[in-house]
Amino acid sequence: MIAMNESNASRGHILVVDDEGSAREALDTLLEDSGYEVRTAPEGFKALGILEEWTCDILLTDLRMPIMDGVELIRKAQDLEGQLACIVMTAFGSIENAVEAMKAGADDYLTKPLNFEAVELLLERTMERIEMRRELDRLREEREAPQEMEETEITIVGNSPAMQQVVDMIDQVARSQATVLVTGASGTGKELVAQQIHEKSDRADGPFVRLHCAALSENLLESELFGHEKGAFTGATHQRKGRFEEADGGTLLLDEIGEIPEPTQVKLLRFLQQREFERVGGNETISVDVRIIAATNRDLEEAVRQGIFREDLYYRLNVINLQLPPLKARRDDIPLLARHFAAIYAEANDKEIERITPEAMEALKSYDWPGNVRELENAVERATVLASNQTLTLDDLPNDLEESPFGRDSNVRIPGSTLEDIERYAILETYESTGGSTSETADILDVSVRKIQYKLKEYRNEWNVDDEE
């Protein structure tokens, strides 16, 4: 799975309600600087008016306010929007106030005076839960309406620059009729890209047919591609249409095209040149309207040089080349993919997964993923099944991740790690050893507190996960 279900939009929509103007303005400024879209209100009735016309993710409200207090506001707000997450702020901080707010539907609370690091961490954790819940809701809707799933556009998950180039290329390619060669290592999502091209093309109403070329012998491969007549070979008891005819009016994906034998290469070349063929054992020339997308994890140029793949066929297939990056070349997409797969497998296994710990997410980001997205999906599925509660931890992940620079062995590989990897490791390990003190971390590493705060914020933005409880 490749994915892109997040954009460069804000980190979330937050409504701040506080009768103290200075506190309200300070939160507005700080949250906007952190990438949130923020609206403010001085009291409950104005807040409700905003909620009636603005879609909000989190309501951040003071507990004690004149006219309408935070508890009453939460009750009324959730009547308007049942999925709204609510956090209360209180200067009193008593257990009684917190319990009252929780009973009214609050997700959590903060004590005044506010520590902005605590505010940001709590908002990050709340936003992650919101995103996971939305992903689960989407999957449940698809499960309850299976007839609509076939019409749902394939999800491309990822907003790294490398994947943005792929997505832009898909949009351009889909509008044409040109043959496309999709290349990339196993597990990078070549079939999903082919499906995306088909769904965005004017052939979307036609069939999308796939043939895995490496899994068949020469005779079976030709029969699968071109079909056969009755009696064409032993066991051919009736006429059978091939994949070209099945894909008429649509798209045919020839997966692992680099594995087809030379006699079949010749027949495929003829089809690409003339758009016609004969069934195995037949004389009738058949014409079809099919767009070809080929995919391979082999270096076809090298195969041409070695004489095992026809040069003229290579150029016929490689009209447009779309190369998919390995997962290790787009590590920033790993948190998005991990949450996406966690939601899918939580739904499949009737579990609730609300968060992935920073330690687990860092291990996922640091591992090289030789099996690419497919391997990541398998790892997250395993973690979801094994998770004993609503949190995925490092202990839930496969032991292979011990080889990660930030895995269980906690060793940076030298050589093998970048300076950025080493700096990240030093900051995170020191921060953890000090019990989460940015000032002590800065003293030990002999850098400014501002730099430590900046780096921690950068890491949290990459993970979009919260710190350990």
Distance CA 292, CA 197 (A): 11
CATH architecture of 13-142: 3-Layer(aba) Sandwich (3.40)
Closest CA to 244 of 291, 199, 201: 291
In sequence order, which residues have a C-beta less than 8 Å from that of residue 361 and are 6 or more positions away?
334, 335, 338, 463, 465
Helix (H, G, I), strand (E, B) or coil at 152: coil
Give the DSSP H/E element, type plus range, for residue 322: strand 320-323
Distance CA 132, CA 144 (A): 18
What's the pLDDT tens digit per position in 164-194? Answer: 899 999 999 998 999 999 999 888 999 999 9
Bond into 263 cis (ω within 30): no
CATH number given to 331-463: 1.10.8.60
Work out the average pLDDT over 95-123: 80
Tell me the pLDDT of the chain averaged across its residues.
82
Fold of 161-327: Rossmann fold (3.40.50)
Q: Which amino acid is at 29?
A: T
| Chain region(s) in the chain for CATH 3.40.50.300 | 161-327
| Chain region(s) in the chain for CATH 1.10.8.60 | 331-463
pLDDT of residue 152: 38
pTM over 0.75: no
What's the pLDDT tens digit per position in 353-401? Answer: 888 888 888 889 888 888 899 899 989 998 998 888 888 888 888 877 7
Q: Residue 254 pLDDT more than 70? A: yes
Closest CA to 362 of 299, 330, 404: 404
pLDDT of residue 417: 63
| Chain region(s) in the chain for CATH 3.40.50.2300 | 13-142
Work out the pLDDT band at 55, boundaries 50, 70, 90.
confident
pLDDT of residue 229: 85
Distance CA 347, CA 134 (A): 12
CA distance to 5, 7, 126, 129, per residue, from 340 (Å): 9, 14, 16, 12
